[in-house]
Chain A
Amino acid sequence: MLSNERTTSQVYSDRKVSPNLKENEQTLTAIFEHCSDVVFRRLTLHDETKLLLVYVDGMIDKDLIQSSILKPLLYEGVPQGLGALDTLAQMCDQELVAALQTKRVSAFEEAVDLILKGSVAFLAEGETSLLLADVSRFETRSIEEPSTEASLRGTRESFTEQLRTNTTMLRRIIVTPDLKMESNQVGKLTKTEVVLAYIEGLATPSLVDEVRTRIKAIDIQGVLESGYIEEYIEDSSYSPFPQMTSTERADVVSAGLMEGRIAVFVNGTPIVLVVPMTFWDGLQAPDDYYERFLYVTMNRWIRYLFALFSILFPSVYIALTTYHPEMMPPKLMMSITGLREHSPFPTVIEVFMMEFMFEGLREAGIRLPQQIGPLVSIVGALVIGQAAVQAGIISAPIVIVVSAAGISSFVIPRYRFGYPLRMLRFPLLILSGLFGLFGVAIGLIMILSHLIQLNPLGTPYLEPLAPTRNSKLKNIFLRRPRKRMS
């Protein structure tokens, strides 16, 4: 995107801070040329000392600057007289600037970075370094309820776009210095802060090293979402299955960390990644560990059944009705045939048409503005469901099959884990349309062998089922009472 020629600001950024304030000001003005939101504020103290404040408007706490820096300096002057201090900046640092984080910098490049992130730069005549005080304060979204991972029981807090807010939430839950949060900067233009969080002693050091190396190796213009980072960390980019949990819930991240996993926070997005992930994580909800175990075990089984149902139902329906009608109960076959009597299309085509319509409705439902959202359901239910059947274009069983399979894919608690199941339905449809149950079996074997060889970050995807770990296996099929959990 950027040409090899360096921009003016890049050229000037290489300069060092000179003792001449005028020169420094020129450099900064050149760097921030056409940046209307950057403010230069010149001050003269006692007619002799010149001071320059540089900051980005809207990103700093103006009240703080006014009350604790500008007013004392202008009205009262230097507190103990200039003689007692080496530099003006030192004075500001020690006496006046009531900011927690300050930094002295002598290179413009670093200074510019910090100014853009919400620091105020203090430049004084005759000094070769700048003082940068972090007084950033800008408008952010407040903490809200999780919108994509609702649960009946458990925390109502979801992450926000502010990285610091998010890491704070985690700190509040896991109170130990062993919770490490390594900061990295990714993206040439966005300079996004990416924090690697793990609990020392629980997380495998080699895994932490691996993730750290992969994050450090990322060479990219910008990071707008944790999905960017996800693609760089994951092993099999071609797999339809997600290889890391992405969540907006602090409790899910904490649970992951306490199991020895690693969380990746990315500034600017409420979605946090937890690596590595297994197949079963996709089918577990946070409530699973908050609710009573019997009820949760039943729910788990319902999810497993529906996951299977969602991927197989349409293709098995096609295979049964068109290749193996002898496998259906006679009465069922009679009713299906009776309803199909006037259908103009073969069953395979019907299912394909309805599946496409369903996926279209689903996609439209996400994108549409809220005001016209209900329209989709009306059009979808009435026109496509009822009218198509009444007009005899689509047979009624197909509508049942497609909507049942569609709804069962929404039973899966991790929304994005439903994607591969919905997507893999289509190849299975083709296979069953061509080869019947034999084709479905081939398709399933292919999916299973892919799942078995999937090994994201050294953790087998189907663990503990394959490879079998008997001690953990029970927790997959049952949610055992906490006292008995290993």
Chain B
Amino acid sequence: MKKTMITICLLILTAAISGCWNLKETNQLAIVIGGGLDASEDGRLEVSSQIAIPAGLGGPDTGTNKKRSFEVVSATGKNFMDAGQNLQAQLSRTLFYAHRQTILIGQRLAEQGIAGNGMLKYLDMIVRNPKSEMRSVIWIVKDGTAKDILATEPTFDPLISTTLVSVQMALGMKPYNYREFLCDSLSKGGGELLPAISILPSTKKFIYSGAAILDKEHELHLTGFLKPDESYYANWIIGRQKTLTVTSSESQSNGTISLRVMSLRKHISVNKDLHGMRVHIQLNGSGNLVENNSSLDPSSAKDLKTIQSMLSRDAEQAVVKLIHKAQEQYKVDFLGIGEIVHRKYPREWKSLKKNWNDTFIHIPITVEVHLRYKDPGQTNSSI
């Protein structure tokens, strides 16, 4: 008994005396809630961190003398951690990356990279560093820098970084975080889509501004942006969209009809014959009619058929336009066709993957969209 007690005491003492005590109170940490990567004017990497100020966030509301809830600090450096060290020089508390909710990448960095290298290089730290959070959502800043976005104050949350996590969900998309982005971007060939954000100059608030197209064959260089409308269809094709509202105009009475599509399904088939490869994209969706300003009456079978085909046709046109954009304008396969080819023809893919985008732009792609209604809504014809 005595021996055991002495042994236990000694064991505890060794831990305390040898200094192997990595206890750290939370108020000794500078909690990085959002991170931003930019290319500075002189072409160096600039890392910005949104540091949460807990005293301004939690704690009792003292009313008038409410403290600031965050601080944005930035520093340049050779790479992420080097900049991080320069960042630390401005702070009295240790940087703590594990709660980073959002990673923002400025347009300039995404387009030009640093010293000819694309942004792919700088993503290593996020996965390698054990203290880093992998579930941060990742955004590209359109027409601006990450630093500016981090400094904006959103409407609901005190911090922009936590807000951006829920923006995608509010728009009917599945939240897309860094871990998934890493998985997708490590497969060779084609391109990648990331959500894009920009500052509304009038209100100094953020606004969702579509999707950024990254070219995987060129170290994830940014090749262009999709408009928000286009991004929804693109996300449908790659399976990141959960709901979508399709609106189309009816020519007879010059009215409009909106369908809130709830269950989005996609089927992409690739076939190879003597003439080469051909791709067929079939999109199915069903939902509720939520607005009807036209003369059509959803309770009559004939009109309903018209409504359905009209909505399907309009959606089909939008997708055809999107594919046209991918093949003609950006010449990047951001729709994930490459991955389907990879799965169906794994042998051929070995030779195709290096220059997949070049192959992609010549492939004939056909599109078929079927939208069905489930519920005509609370009334019959338009009131």
Contacts and interface: CB of A to CB of B under 8 A. Distances in A.
Interface of A: 238, 321-323, 325-326, 330-331, 333-341, 343, 346-348, 430, 433-436
B318 interface: no
B162 A331 contact: yes
B26 A321 contact: yes
B383 interface: no
Interface in B51-77: 52, 54-59
B57 A334 contact: yes
B33 interface: yes
Contacts of B33: 330
Interface stretch (B95-103, B114-122, B255-263, B358-366): B95-103
Interface stretch (B17-25, B182-190, B343-351): B17-25
Interface string B1-30: 100000000001001100001111111010
Contacts of B31: 330, 333-334, 337
Contacts, number: 78
B99 A341 contact: no
A334 B15 contact: no
16 contacts: A323-B23, A334-B54, A335-B59, A336-B54, A337-B31, A337-B54, A337-B58, A338-B55, A338-B59, A339-B58, A340-B54, A341-B54, A341-B59, A346-B23, A433-B23, A434-B16
Contacts of A341: 27, 54-55, 59
Q: Which of B16, B25, B58 has the most CB of A within 10 A?
A: B58
B98 A323 contact: no
B354 interface: no
A330 B162 CA distance: 9
A86 to B, nearest CB: 65
B131 interface: yes
Contacts of B54: 333-338, 340-341
B23 A322 contact: yes
Contacts of A335: 54, 57-59
Contacts of B21: 434
Contacts of B25: 321-322, 340, 346-347
Given A331-B162, A333-B26, A326 B133 contact: yes
Contact of B58 (A326, A338, A343, A434): A338
Interface residues of B, number: 28
Q: Which of B23, B99, B162 has the most CB of A within 10 A?
A: B23
Q: Which of A338, A339, A343 has the most CB of B within 10 A?
A: A338
Nearest to B133: A326
Nearest to B33: A330
A434 B22 CA distance: 8
Nearest to A238: B1
A347 to B, nearest CB: 6
A430 B23 CA distance: 12
B133 to A, nearest CB: 7
Nearest to A427: B8
Contacts of A339: 58-59
Contacts of A433: 23
B225 to A, nearest CB: 30
Contacts of B16: 434
A336 B1 contact: no
Given A338-B57, A339-B59, A348-B23, 17 more contacts: A322-B24, A323-B24, A326-B133, A330-B31, A331-B162, A333-B99, A334-B31, A334-B52, A334-B57, A334-B58, A337-B54, A337-B58, A338-B54, A339-B58, A340-B27, A340-B54, A436-B23
A80 B171 CA distance: 114
Contact of A336 (B58, B99, B131): B58
A69 to B, nearest CB: 60
Contacts of B99: 325-326, 330, 333
A436 B16 CA distance: 13
A325 B26 contact: yes
A435 B11 CA distance: 12
Contacts of A238: 1
Contacts of B55: 338, 341
A325 B12 CA distance: 23
Contacts of A338: 54-59
Contacts of B12: 430, 434
A348 B25 CA distance: 10
A341 B60 CA distance: 12
The 10 residue pairs across chains A and B that have the minimum distance between CB atoms: A338-B58, A326-B98, A335-B58, A337-B54, A338-B54, A338-B59, A337-B26, A330-B99, A334-B57, A341-B55
A55 B211 CA distance: 104
A238 B29 CA distance: 43
Contacts of A346: 23, 25
Nearest to B98: A326
A239 to B, nearest CB: 12
B27 to A, nearest CB: 5
A340 B26 contact: yes
Interface string B132-156: 0100000000000000000000000
Given A430-B12, A434-B16, A325 B58 contact: no
Contacts of A430: 12
A330 B31 CA distance: 9
Contact of B29 (A325, A330, A347): A325
Contacts of A331: 162
Contacts of B1: 238
